[in-house]
Amino acid sequence: MSETGPGYLALYRSGELERRVKALEARLEECDICPRECRTRRLEGNTGACNSGALPIVSSFCAHHGEEPALSGSRGSGTIFFGNCNMRCVYCQNFQISQDPVNQRQYEVTTRVLAERMLYLQDELKCHNINLVTPSHFVPQIARAVFEAVPRGLRLPLVYNTSSYDSLRTLKQLDGIIDIYLADLRYASNEAGRRYSGVPDYTEISRAGIKEMYRQVGDLLVDEEGVAIKGLMVRHLILPNGIAGSEESLRWLAREVSPRVAVSIMSQYYPAHLAYKYRELYRKILPAEYDEVARLAEELGMENGWLQEMESAGHYRPDFAADEPFAKKEEGESGR
């Protein structure tokens, strides 16, 4: 983000944003948007590995006050939760929307409506940013919505809130469109990714992606209120029994990316969804596990970022079935 606003504004003015949108949409003809490269003809309405077709799925959106302080600020992060996912995490805390594709189809919207959602979060709810949660399988649709929203006044930074199972080619096409990357660093071994998230190559895919994200946006930059305007933020969720490979992951991040990267150490794990089937996952983390990762981050000189309180697992219990998603409103409406 420059003095003249988010990068996508300059890309729009030059015509580059439109070119990127068309290039991304063309890849939906035989989809290779995410690393699965399942080649599904999504423009024809077919669904592939991500269980999603041509239209974006907006499960919910809101002014989110529970994100990292640099995102939530005083007015909230304008969060858009996309339905479905290209991963199958057995402990997913958002499983109601990420792993229920039949139900999620009712929340399909056009890109015009998605653009309206962005503008509603900006103009009506006065959020600090547009926070795109689980966006990896809807990148072309998101880019199209941004292109449609810009002439109507969109000007907030875009947050790409991802599991980091992203195609490197896709990320490169987002260069200049995304202002803030909020990336998971979930596992240090492919075996863990295969067993718990259903992907064979998480480690090399996520690490290559995070390096590319850092190349694009660099270290976190905040305004005078401490609210993020550009940069990379990396989340690391502590898992029980060392499953996340926290030491290897954080050492890699400090060595191969930068110890200055803003890191969010998360302690909110609890055994959600299918975790009960895995004995090693069927408990919250222990204080000793939490303390070990906290000490490691300090040892590595990772002074930028946040550390969740140990009791966070007792506070974070999302229930997407409790509220009617905004996506069920008529397409001409911009809110409730």
Counted domains in the chain: 1
pLDDT band at 317 (very low <50, low <70, confident <90, very high): low
Model pLDDT, residue 310: 84
Hey, how many other C-beta atoms are within 10 angstroms of the C-beta on 290? 19
Cα–Cα distances (Å) from 43 to 46, 82, 290, in that order, read 7, 18, 45
Mean pLDDT, rounded, for 149-161: 98
CATH number of the domain that 51 lies in? 3.20.20.70
Calculate mean pLDDT across residues 57-61: 97
Distances 66 to 70, 73, 77, 233 between C-alpha atoms, Å = 11, 10, 8, 15
Q: Tell me if 332 is assigned to some domain.
A: no
The three-class DSSP label of residue 6 is coil
Q: How many other C-beta atoms can be found within 10 angstroms of the C-beta atom of residue 314?
A: 11
pLDDT confidence of 319, banded at 50, 70, 90? confident
pLDDT tens, position by position, 165-211: 999 999 999 999 999 999 999 999 999 999 999 999 999 999 999 99
Q: Is the pLDDT of residue 328 over 90?
A: no
Q: Length of the chain in residues, anyone?
A: 336
- For residue 314, is it within any domain? no
Q: Determine the average pLDDT of the residues in 277-302.
A: 96
Is 84 contained in some domain? yes
For residue 276, tell me if it sits in a domain.
yes
For residues 60-65, give the mean pLDDT: 96
Q: Which long-range contacts (CB under 8 A, 24 or more apart) does 326-329 make?
A: 326/58, 326/60, 326/61, 326/117, 327/57, 327/58, 327/59, 327/60, 327/61, 327/107, 327/108, 327/109, 327/113, 328/106, 328/107
Q: Taking residues 322-334, report their average pLDDT.
A: 40
Evaluate whether residue 326 is within a structural domain.
no
pLDDT digits (tens, 9 = 90+) for 12-54: 999 999 999 999 999 999 999 999 999 999 999 999 999 999 9
CA distance 76 to 24: 30
Whether the predicted pLDDT of 101 surpasses 80: yes
- What is the average per-residue pLDDT within 154-160? 98
Whether 268 is covered by a domain: the verdict is: yes
Beta strands, E only, the chain: 58-64, 77-82, 130-133, 158-162, 180-184, 221-222, 228-237, 262-266, 305-307
Residue 324 clears pLDDT 50, i.e. is over it: no
Residue 315: what pLDDT?
Answer: 64
The answer on pLDDT for 336 being more than 90 is: no
Higher pLDDT, 332 or 10: 10
Question: Would 113 be classed as within a structural domain?
Answer: yes
Q: What is the mean pLDDT of the chain?
A: 93
**Does 324 map to a domain?**
no
Which token pair is 126?
């006065």
Report the share of the chain in percent with pLDDT over 90.
Answer: 90
Label residue 4 by pLDDT band (50, 70, 90): confident
pLDDT at 320: 72
Q: Which residues contact 104 (CB under 8 A, 6 or more apart)?
A: 51, 57, 59, 83, 84, 97
Residue 252 vs residue 309, higher pLDDT: 252
How confident is the model at residue 314, as a pLDDT? 64
Tokens of 258: 């930068």
Whether pTM exceeds 0.75: yes
pLDDT in tens, 171-182: 999 999 999 999
Q: Which domain holds residue 269?
A: 7-309
